Amino acid sequence: MYADLHLHTHYSDGTYTPEELAERGRERGIKVMSLTDHDTIDGCKQMAVACDDRNIEFISGCEFTVELEGFELHLLGYFLDLECARLIEQLEKYQAVRQNRIHEMVFKLNELGFKITSDDVLDIANCNSPGRPHIGRVMVAKGYCRSLDESFQKYLKKGKPAWVPKSKMTASQAINLIHEAGGLSVIAHPGLYHRDDVISPLVVAGLDGIECFYTRHSTPMTEHYLMLAEQHALLVTGGSDCHGDNKGQPLIGGVKLPYAYVEKMKLAVST
């Protein structure tokens, strides 16, 4: 029995519907799935039904964009109470930040001479939690870039001409919020940051786990984070970070988290 606990749908910057995602997971033999869209839980109830219809265990989730001393990182929340009023209120606040940022970045692209409108982006995004990939898709659709990656490399990445900063929760606010919603907090894809020094302060703030198994983690990297998880007595999670088919082959099921780790998560959330 395997799990994939890091997945996106069109409720943020993925391309699949919950049903399409659950179906891809079923085809690949995944028995447990979590939906972890960026700063939103909007797709979770639909995904719960889609999983239930396919005999797949569903874990509610969200990927929170946070900052720790000015550094941006992603925290995954699992087993969240989807009715938690404070969680809903905080997510809505940061979704508004995302929507405003689309206007600001489109303004910069207009100054650079590109004829794109916020509505182009918000129409393609069609969700409450739009992000830079939606801007990139419009740049590609209009022929201004050959690929999503090119749009990031030339314009959208931090430091590039259309980039604007985005206000974020602090890591400790996000961890407290996840706990208030009854969930577990996990640092997402630590191997991508080259900043293992963030782990200790996160542990002090109440971090519950490390995403050790991840598409872009090499085997030595995975082993390194398994060791750190053991050292800090943290849970181990894993997932593919599938965004649908906008980045080539769908990644779902490419990372297989053994069910024993899911059982440990369940034990931790119930105590």
Interacting residues toward Fe ion by CB under 5 A: 63, 74, 188, 241
Closer residue to ligand AMP (CB): 13 or 208? 13
- Choose among Zn ion, ligand AMP, Fe ion, none what residue 148 binds, the Cβ cut-off being 5 to 8 Å by kind: ligand AMP
Least distance in angstroms from the C-beta of 256 to ligand AMP: 21
Closer residue to Zn ion (CB): 4 or 13? 13
- Choose among Zn ion, Fe ion, ligand AMP, none what residue 149 binds, the Cβ cut-off being 5 to 8 Å by kind: ligand AMP
Q: How far apart are CA 46 and CA 40, in angstroms?
A: 13
Q: Which residues from 103-162 bind Zn ion, rule CB under 5 A?
A: none
Least distance in angstroms from the C-beta of 108 to ligand AMP: 14
Closer residue to ligand AMP (CB): 133 or 183? 133
Q: Which residue has the CB atom at the shortest distance from ligand AMP?
A: 131
Closer residue to ligand AMP (CB): 18 or 131? 131
Give the max Cα distance, the chain.
56
Least distance in angstroms from the C-beta of 82 to ligand AMP: 21
Closer residue to Zn ion (CB): 35 or 229? 35
Q: How far apart are CA 202 and CA 256, in angstroms?
A: 25
CB 76 within 8 A of CB 36: yes
Least distance in angstroms from the C-beta of 74 to Zn ion: 9
Closer residue to ligand AMP (CB): 26 or 190? 190
| Amino acid letter for position 203 | V
Closer residue to ligand AMP (CB): 31 or 74? 74
The site for ligand AMP (CB under 6 A) is made up of 13, 38, 131-133, 148-149, 152, 243
Least distance in angstroms from the C-beta of 230 to ligand AMP: 28
Q: Which residues from 4-23 bind Zn ion, rule CB under 5 A?
A: 13
Ramachandran area for residue 194 (φ above 0: left; ψ -120 to 50: alpha; else beta): left
Least distance in angstroms from the C-beta of 159 to ligand AMP: 13
| Amino acid letter for position 40 | T
Length of the chain: 271
Least distance in angstroms from the C-beta of 221 to Fe ion: 16
Strands 32-34 and 61-68: unpaired
Which chain residues interact with Zn ion by CB under 5 A? 13
